[in-house]
Amino acid sequence: MFIPAIKGQGTEEQQQKWLPLAYKMQIIGCYAQTELGHGSNVQGLETTATFDPQTDEFIVDSPTLTSSKWWPGGLGKVSTHAVAYARLIVKGQDHGVHGFIVQLRSLDDHMPLPGITVGDIGMKFGSGAYNSMDNGLLRFDHVRIPRDQMLMRVLQVTREGKVVQSNVPRQLIYGTMVYVRQTIVADASCALSRAVCIATRYSAVRRQFGSQNGGPETQVIDYKTQQSRLFPLLASAYAFRFVGEWLKWLYTDVTQRLQANDFSTLPEAHACTAGLKSLTTSATADAIEECRKLCGGHGYLSSSGLPELFAVYIPACTYEGDNTVLLLQVARFLMKTVSQLGSGKQPVGSTAYMSRAEHLMQCRCSAQRVEDWLKPNVVLEAFEARALRMSVACAQNLGKFSNPEEGFAELSADLVEAATAHCQLIVVSKFIEKLQQDIPGKGVKQQLQTLCSVYVLHLLHKHQGDFLSTGCVTPKQAALANEQLRSLYSQVRPNAIALVDAFNYTDHYLGSVLGRYDGNVYPKLYEEAWKDPLNDSVVPDGYHEYIRPVLKQQLRNARL
Amino acid sequence: MFIPAIKGQGTEEQQQKWLPLAYKMQIIGCYAQTELGHGSNVQGLETTATFDPQTDEFIVDSPTLTSSKWWPGGLGKVSTHAVAYARLIVKGQDHGVHGFIVQLRSLDDHMPLPGITVGDIGMKFGSGAYNSMDNGLLRFDHVRIPRDQMLMRVLQVTREGKVVQSNVPRQLIYGTMVYVRQTIVADASCALSRAVCIATRYSAVRRQFGSQNGGPETQVIDYKTQQSRLFPLLASAYAFRFVGEWLKWLYTDVTQRLQANDFSTLPEAHACTAGLKSLTTSATADAIEECRKLCGGHGYLSSSGLPELFAVYIPACTYEGDNTVLLLQVARFLMKTVSQLGSGKQPVGSTAYMSRAEHLMQCRCSAQRVEDWLKPNVVLEAFEARALRMSVACAQNLGKFSNPEEGFAELSADLVEAATAHCQLIVVSKFIEKLQQDIPGKGVKQQLQTLCSVYVLHLLHKHQGDFLSTGCVTPKQAALANEQLRSLYSQVRPNAIALVDAFNYTDHYLGSVLGRYDGNVYPKLYEEAWKDPLNDSVVPDGYHEYIRPVLKQQLRNARL
Ligand SMILES: Cc1cc2nc3c(=O)[nH]c(=O)nc-3n(C[C@H](O)[C@H](O)[C@H](O)COP(=O)(O)OP(=O)(O)OC[C@H]3O[C@@H](n4cnc5c(N)ncnc54)[C@H](O)[C@@H]3O)c2cc1C
Ligand SMILES: Cc1cc2nc3c(=O)[nH]c(=O)nc-3n(C[C@H](O)[C@H](O)[C@H](O)COP(=O)(O)OP(=O)(O)OC[C@H]3O[C@@H](n4cnc5c(N)ncnc54)[C@H](O)[C@@H]3O)c2cc1C
Ligand SMILES: [Ca+2]
């Protein structure tokens, strides 16, 4: 993020000066935005950068305890430089938050420079990976930096202390956000597919109950409850992968447009990536834990790989935008789009369906038999109608408030649900679009069609309340959808292992005894256990000190 | 569990011999049931205990790798004895799984006895607490124990090798299960209230956005999205506490009946505790993680207390019965109850509502205004009708299968949903019953009534699909319920802090910087960070070895 920040917000000269140093690792940089007291609300940051016209410098300062930088990855122990975000103060006037390149440590001996207090913020969730990241804290005590270390692509401070807006539009910053969040969606599909791969393989190895006449027991993957918990996650892993690929395309498209000074699709693209970041990371975090539970007791062992995958993954729900805050942004965009529907302004991109509002507000789902729920157009219309009706209902309810901001606050829980419905529609429609393309490999397309239907119908079942209350689907149709879903599970079952093998993860990368490609789980679990340092001695270290006195009743000074 | 097992399954003499040793800690025992290959399916355990009439002993053996005992808490390093479950083999005949007291380690030097291989199973989820528990593995190589170390309350093996059923009914074992699971429900309410206390207090401390004219920002607890995520969890903490108290009563009641040889309520009590164990532990595990997310980035710090609370809590969803397996047992019980409805056999206890099947199958919810959703009878009837209709629908669908077991397997995902609806009804009805009693303290009852309505209406909203598809509630009525829920949140808000203070947890017990009673969060977070060992040195230990060579481009043998 140090490098993208300089790329996005630095001038040409700044990029030429700093990027090579960072690329060659002659300096190590971090992205220092969040403070102890401010994360989501970036505009509320308290660190100040005050221009001193006498010396042509900025004085960077942490005026309060809550203004201490807090969380930046790499800040605590490793970084020599930071892009620090601070309020720009010129001639007593506050010009809002901007980025400043600040050197933190000496390049000779790594000692913090004068005025800099820097350290690690301490232990985090999990026993491993994320704790090897030195998320840090940082305080500035009137630290002076040259004027040209303010990132000045958008706003400039001149030698004379004039604050000048450049002709580069502020919106460019959103381009960077689209980029970062798009990579987060790709990461979600990756983390999810790892967890699903482990749980699926182990579910085929694990047998429990159901032995007949002394034969082998049932593989737990054959239980319908296991399938109904696992296969939607498998389908989601594919769904997120496809929507991630599409987002990558969207980012390229937006970038090209920005270069041509076309900002028309930016708000939609921004809402779209924000919403998909929220949807995919929340779903993935939940799914990893569900996969762990699907592995029964053994999923709780570190050697299953799932605990650490969870611990390392979950902050994705919080960083780069808290998921609830992001959905509220999506909802705001949707309300704006709905309010403009009558005005002739055509909704674009992922909101294009809203232009068919008249139809979608009154259409009736045509599904009459279970097979009808396999038809892409039936499904798509149901999801479009649901999303639109939920947005329109919110907009109508908002209209009852005299103060729109008050209404938005009051109805925000409903608005989040409408935003979720919209984001789910995007994932569904991109999955369906993907299947309209040529897909190489014999039978692959058919498998993906099955997974697509699983993805769609499990969402429909999970959010049945939305579909029924908006009248998009009747109870009878919902029951048919559920019946179809059940029979799809039986179709996924024989290919489940192939579908996770297709992710092509090595055992080393998966890092899970339960998810081994060869299925040789039990001997390896047993082997792994003996590697634990606790097993180096037969009689445990604390025996003489703690256990023996208890057994021999020699607790002279017992404190019980 | 070592002690309850001996109490429940040991004869009088066995209890007299072993319990005092265990109470005085002259021996340390563990409960060794689960094996590498078998957890849920206890009847599938592979360890054998073969009677040797020549020496009047049992030979305990682990014939396969998968028969290794695996998971028992305290087994790895500390225990000297175990109640080990093994297949009783007498004269070549397999008499199923029974408990045997086996000494594992010498009482002199704690060395494992001949034929015993014992060790720790290795690292588990989390960085702290559960890893200090030595869940262990254990293999027997033809270990001989005297005949009187088989727990013989229910089944006896005589000197001559006769296998005799005692007159003590087998069902007694269910009594122990009711006991253990009832304590798990109480623990759920405790863990949940801790998490909710932390998240609620911090939500009142944390301010983000919404500053007007430079005034303070909005406390995040004032955001409706935060309330709609947090307050239902607060209400659940109270709900689980009350249902836990009721279960304690139920256990006493069952015990008294068992002593009077009345087994009539046992199946219902067993289903009830199994279902509530599943419902409360699943909800609590999810809720702890939601509370962590509600704390934003800082919830990810170990010092928030939430990561370790989660890591230590979650196995409750798996041990003492995997939650899905338990719900399937509840569903089986419900199907049996439904099938007997016509037969004159009256459903008892938590299924008593089913006797009003005729009414509940066709009743219509009377709610016409938002306030109607505060009426206990309106709510209760809606939940009863939903639960019953879901069970009846499953029973009807089961009837379409010629093989009932096949039908049960095929429909098991729906059956789990019906079981969940039934269990939620129990919690709802016990909350309502509690409020019909006298409750001391001015205004307390009114607060609890508000929480009860929050609990009920958030469930109704979350499972709207169930209520709508079964026709228990119309879309219009569901919308009214949601509106009522929103206004209840505003009523909870002013008392939210008092409602968590009422749990009466000390800061020490909570173990959370975010959840401090005095709200002094930021200075303490800052203080806490400096205690991390990483901060003992200003220049980190690895600087000369790892960081400097990178910065100084001295990577002679760079492997990049
Ligand atoms: C592992 C990790 C790595 C990180 N790395 C970096 C880094 O490298 N650099 C950096 O600068 N930062 C980093 N961060 C910080 C991260 O960006 C913030 O934690 C994140 O932006 C969330 O902000 P917050 O912590 O202030 O949450 P808060 O905003 O305090 O959230 C608390 C609660 O309030 C709610 N809430 C907040 N505002 C609103 C609103 N307007 N309406 C409704 N609800 C609201 C949220 O939904 C949440 O439930 C990292 C964080 C973590 C956990
Ligand atoms: C922290 C911890 C402490 C423990 N302490 C002890 C202890 O002290 N003593 C002891 O003996 N044991 C102990 N255990 C073991 C524990 O009791 C088992 O892990 C538990 O019973 C679950 O069984 P399992 O692991 O075999 O899960 P499995 O049965 O293998 O579950 C795997 C998956 O299969 C599914 N499944 C299984 N059967 C069915 C079915 N019939 N229908 C549908 N789905 C099914 C489950 O829902 C799950 O999703 C402990 C476990 C843990 C995690
Ligand atoms: Ca850990």
Per residue in A295-324, pLDDT tens? 999 999 999 999 999 999 999 999 999 999
For chains A and B, count residue pairs whose Cβ atoms are closer than 8 Å. 292
Beta carbons of A318 and B301 less than 8 Å apart: no
Residues of chain B with pLDDT under 50: 558-560
Out of A147-156, A470-479, A551-560, B181-190, least confident range = A551-560
Say yes or no for a CB contact (<8 Å) between A66 and B37.
Answer: no
User: pLDDT by residue (tens digit) across A209-249?
Assistant: 998 877 899 999 999 999 999 999 999 999 999 999 999 99
B358 contact partners, CB below 8 Å, separation of at least 6: none
Polymer length of chain A: 560
Average pLDDT over residues A478-488: 98
Distance CA A152, CA A98 (A): 9
- Chain A residues in contact with B225 by the CB 8 A cut-off are 324, 328, 412-413, 416
- Degrees (nearest 5) of the Cα angle A495, A500, A502? 95
Residue A535 contacts B where some CB pair is shorter than 8 Å: yes
Asked if B308 and B302 touch (Cβ cutoff 8 Å), the reply is yes
Look at A307 and B302 and tell me if their CB atoms are within 8 Å: no
A552 → chain B, closest CA residue: B26
pLDDT at res. A139: 98
Region of poorest pLDDT, from A93-102, A534-543, B23-32, B270-279 = A534-543
Of B107, B297, B543, the CB nearest to A34: B297
pLDDT for position B284? 98
Interface of A with B in 354-413 (CB under 8 A): 409-413
- Within 538-557 of A, beta carbons closer than 8 Å to B belong to 538-540, 543, 547-548, 550-551, 553
For A:210-269, CB contacts with B below 8 A are 211, 217, 223-229
**The pLDDT value given to residue B492:** 98
Distance set, CA A11 to CA A6, A82, A150, B25 (Å): 8, 17, 10, 73
Q: How far is the CA of B296 from the centre of ligand 1 (A)?
A: 5
Residue B177 to residue B321: CA distance in whole angstroms = 10
Query: Looking at domain B174-343+368-498, which CATH architecture does it have?
Result: Up-down Bundle (1.20)
DSSP class of B216: P
Spatial contact of A390 and A242, defined as CB atoms under 8 Å apart: no
A523 touches chain B (CB under 8 A): yes
- The residue with tokens 């014939």 is B63
CA gap A135, B301 in Å, rounded:
10
Contact A78 B311 (CB under 8 A): no
Residues 6+ apart with CB under 8 A from A424: A279, A383, A387, A459, A463
SS3 B187: helix
Q: Which of B224, B475, B540 sits opposite A412 (nearest CB)?
A: B224
The pLDDT value recorded for residue A132 is 77
Give the whole-angstrom CA distance, residue B307 versus residue B297: 12
Q: Is the Cβ atom of A221 under 6 angstroms away from ligand 2?
A: no
- Which homologous superfamily is A2-168 in? Butyryl-CoA Dehydrogenase, subunit A, domain 2 (2.40.110.10)
B525 interaction partners in chain A (CB closer than 8 Å): 36, 70
| Res B128: pLDDT | 66
Instruction: Tell me how far apart the alpha carbons of residues B9 and B32 are, in angstroms, rounded to a whole number.
Output: 14
Taking the Cβ of residue B26 and every Cβ of chain A, the question of whether any pair is shorter than 8 Å is answered with yes
Measured between CB atoms, does B535 come within 8 Å of chain A?
A: yes
Using CB atoms, which residue from A39, A224, A553 is nearest to B409?
Answer: A224
Type and span of the H or E element at A143 = strand A143-146
Residue range A109-127: mean pLDDT, rounded: 94
Q: Would you say domain B2-167 falls under CATH 2.40.110.10? A: yes
Percent of chain A with pLDDT over 90: 88
According to the model, what pLDDT value does residue A553 have?
77
Write the residue with the smallest CA distance to atom 35 of ligand 2. Answer: A220
Q: How far is the CA of A303 from the centre of ligand 2 (A)?
A: 16
Phi, psi at A11, each rounded to 5°: -75, 170
Known binding residues of B for FAD are: 34, 73
Q: What are the pocket residues of ligand 1 if the criterion is a CB atom closer than 6 Å to any ligand atom?
A: A 31-34, 39-40, 71-73, 135, 315, 318-319, 322, 324-325, 328; B 206, 208-209, 220, 223, 225-226, 294, 296-298, 300
Query: What pLDDT score was predicted for residue A128?
Result: 66
Q: Cα separation of B558 and B549, whole Å?
A: 10
Q: Which of A23, A118, A292, A318 to mutate to test the interface with B (most CBs of B within 10 A)?
A: A318
Angle at A131 between CA B549 and CA A201, to 5 degrees: 110
Q: Is B44 in the pocket of ligand 2 (CB under 6 A)?
A: no
B309 touches chain A (CB under 8 A): no
Give contacts of B70 with chain A, Cβ < 8 Å. 525
**Residue A342 — pLDDT band, cuts 50, 70, 90?**
confident
**Hey, are the CB atoms on A297 and B303 less than 8 Å from each other?**
no
Q: CA A61 to CA A100: how far, in whole Å? A: 12
pLDDT band at A554 (very low <50, low <70, confident <90, very high): low
Query: What integer pLDDT is reported at residue A558 of this predicted model?
Result: 45
Distance from CA of A499 to the nearest CA of B (A): 22
Flag whether residue B501 sits within 8 Å of chain A, measured between CB atoms. no
Among B31, B124, B319, B324, the mutation site with the greatest number of ligand 2 atoms within 8 A of its Cβ is B319
Residue B430 confidence (pLDDT): 98
Domain regions of chain A by residue span: 2-168, 174-345+368-498
Element (H, E) at A116: strand A116-120
DSSP classification of residue B533: G
Neighbours of B255 (CB within 10 A): 15
Specify the 3-state DSSP secondary structure of B344: coil
SS3 (DSSP) at B164: strand
At A555, the pLDDT band (50, 70, 90 cuts) reads low
Q: What are phi and psi of B60, to 5 degrees?
A: -95, 130
Question: What's the pLDDT tens digit per position in B34-88?
Answer: 999 999 999 999 999 999 999 999 999 999 999 999 999 999 999 999 999 999 9
Ligand 2 atom at minimum distance from B74 CA: 8
Please choose, from the candidates B179, B157, B236, the residue with its C-alpha nearest in 3D space to the C-alpha of residue B1: B179
Burial A138-157 (b: 16+ CB within 10 A, else e): bbbeebebebebbbbbbbeb
Atom of ligand 1 nearest to the CA of B300: 53
Binding-site positions of B: 34, 73
Q: Which residues contact B34 (CB under 8 A, 6 or more apart)?
A: A297, B69, B70, B71, B72
Hey, what amino acid is at B83? V
CATH class of the region A174-345+368-498: mainly alpha
The minimal CB distance from A464 to the residues B296, B465, B530 is found for B465
